[in-house]
Amino acid sequence: MFFKSRDTRMCVSAPVFNNFGKVEKILIFRTPSINFFNMPLISKKGNLMPDSPIRKLVPFADEAKKRGIKVYHLNIGQPDIKTPEVALEAVRNAKLKVIEYSHSAGFLSYRKKLVTYYKRFGINVTENDMIITNGGSEAVLFAFMSCINPGDEVIIPEPYYTNYNGFAITAGVVIKPIVSSIKNDFALPAIEEFEKIITSKTKGIVICNPNNPTGYLYSREELEKLAILVKKYDLYFFADEVYREFCYDGYTHFSAMNLKGLEQNVILIDSVSKRYSLCGIRVGVIISHNCDIMRVAMRFAQARLSPPTFGQIAAEAAIDTPKEYFTEVYNEYIERRNFMVGELNKMQGVYCPLPKGAFYSVASFPIDDADKFCEWLLTSFNYKGQTVMMAPASGFYSNSEMGKKECRLAYVLKIEDLQNAMETLSQALKIYPGRTI
């Protein structure tokens, strides 16, 4: 244990463990005005919570900017794509005089409209199968809280969306990772691999499809293989489909909601953040045909009263976004992806799979340590006054050794910026002291 007892708490340092019991770093408590003898301790879960690998380099980026350096942000899935005008207009024109709580499950009008949205994708749900949440984030939290007991396990192919760690720790859920390798372009690991790690504590599988951070698009066949396992072991299937619209090269998305026989097992996590470039409004949704789960999730929803009013207004209106918007966005992302992945693979020793979905990819680099490399890019390098910020992949793996040479890149910047970013990155790899070729 790293917590000192009540009587001997003169500690000035404490190791921080990652979600998997490994020491991540040593915290030094700063003590300017603190009387240690009278300071209550922080919680164990608080200590377990990882710093965001996506945002932890932000202070270095801020410093670089202060020095006048242009930083290309490939580290975060914040698209520069314009929000549909129809959504912004709805907020501007809202005629509310009192901004009241909405229904804890969200506006009925919005939920009804979502029914029509999902119908377009062949997903049949009713307004009672859904609860609008504070972003997809809260949907994941409600799903874990409603379905899984502290100490129980969910299996997630890694690298995985790092914030699952935060919600797992909050809910006391143990994540059992299963490696999807860059060597296979991050395809679904063999079903036997899943079966090997299923225990009596295993309660669910989480699949993000299309995947963040890898951009991998799971096929219907892959999902159907998983479905057999889910059924066999009576698990929950948590399907994070927030990138549903972002599928390329003629591939289409198959929703876990349409897996036959899994109606009571599937919990859909969704969000409007990326779909309509509405990240800031914090509107997501949790959906399931399992009415017991929805009844329980509703209690968590009631405790926090309601999702945000203006966000719901924007999200409801956004469903009427004209088709051309998506065509334009689609073409833009295809161009960006092809360019960025193409450039990366031209660099000596770099490998980047061509992702079929979302707007991320994980690439491997000829370097000693991606965390060091990403920090170095911000603190010690610039090319023509520019540098690049990426997310070291270590934070997306349970074992930071595994992602040690990999970074996640989000192709969320316009081509011109991506050109500069790739040129800069290419130059950096030539002089980075920790390069391995």
What would the x/- binding string for a second copy be over residues 222 to 241, using CB under 8 A? Answer: ---------x--xxx-----
**Under the criterion CB under 8 A, does residue 83 sit at the interface with a second copy?**
yes
Q: Which stretch binds a second copy (CB under 8 A): 94-102, 191-199, 238-246, 369-377?
A: 94-102
Q: CB-wise, 267 or 341, nearer to a second copy?
A: 267
Q: E strand or H helix at 58, and its extent?
A: helix 58-66
Report 177-206 residues binding a second copy (CB under 8 A): 200, 203-204
Q: Compute the distance between CA of residue 252 and CA of residue 50 in angstroms, rounded to an integer.
A: 34
Query: Per CB under 8 A, does 10 bind a second copy?
Result: no
Candidate segments 252-260, 299-307, 321-329, 419-427, binder of a second copy by CB under 8 A: 299-307
| Torsion over CA: 182, 188, 193, 199 (sign) | positive
**Is position 394 an interface residue for a second copy (rule: CB under 8 A)?**
no
Sign of CA dihedral 118, 124, 127, 133: negative
Stretch that binds a second copy, among 49-57, 113-121, 342-350, 362-370 (CB under 8 A): 49-57
Per CB under 8 A, the segment of 50-58, 63-71, 217-225, 350-358 that binds a second copy is: 50-58
- Smallest CA-to-CA distance from 417 within 10, 120, 78 is with 78
Nearer to a second copy, 105 or 130 (CB): 105
CA distance 73 to 378: 11
Quick one: tokens of 97?
């005089």
Tell me the closest approach of the beta carbon of residue 397 to a second copy, in angstroms.
17
Residue 132's nearest CA partner among 254, 320, 274, 297 is 297
Distance CA 365, CA 437 (A): 10
Measured from the CB atom, is 415 or 431 closer to a second copy?
415
Read off the amino acid at residue 167.
Answer: F
Question: Interface with a second copy includes 49 (CB under 8 A)?
Answer: yes
Which backbone phi and psi does 225 adopt, to 5 degrees? -65, -45
State yes or no: residue 293 binds a second copy (CB under 8 A): yes
Judged by CB under 8 A, the chain residues 252 through 281 that form the site for a second copy are 261, 263-265, 277-281
User: What binding mask, one character per residue, do residues 319-348 give for a second copy by CB under 8 A, x or -?
Assistant: ------------------------------
**Closest to 86 measured CA to CA, from 271, 323, 317:** 317
**Using rule CB under 8 A, residue 108 touches a second copy:** no
Q: Does 148 bind a second copy (CB under 8 A)?
A: yes
Backbone torsion region of residue 349, taken as left when φ is above 0, otherwise alpha when ψ lies between -120 and 50, otherwise beta:
left
The binder of a second copy chosen from 18, 19, 75, 146 (CB under 8 A): 146
Among 159, 210, 308, 403, binds a second copy (CB under 8 A): 308
Positive or negative: CA dihedral 29, 31, 36, 38: negative
In 85-212, where do the E strands start and end?
Answer: 130-133, 153-158, 174-179, 202-208
Is 106 a binder of a second copy (CB under 8 A)?
no
CA 37/CA 268 separation, integer angstroms: 47
Residue 110 touching a second copy (CB under 8 A): no
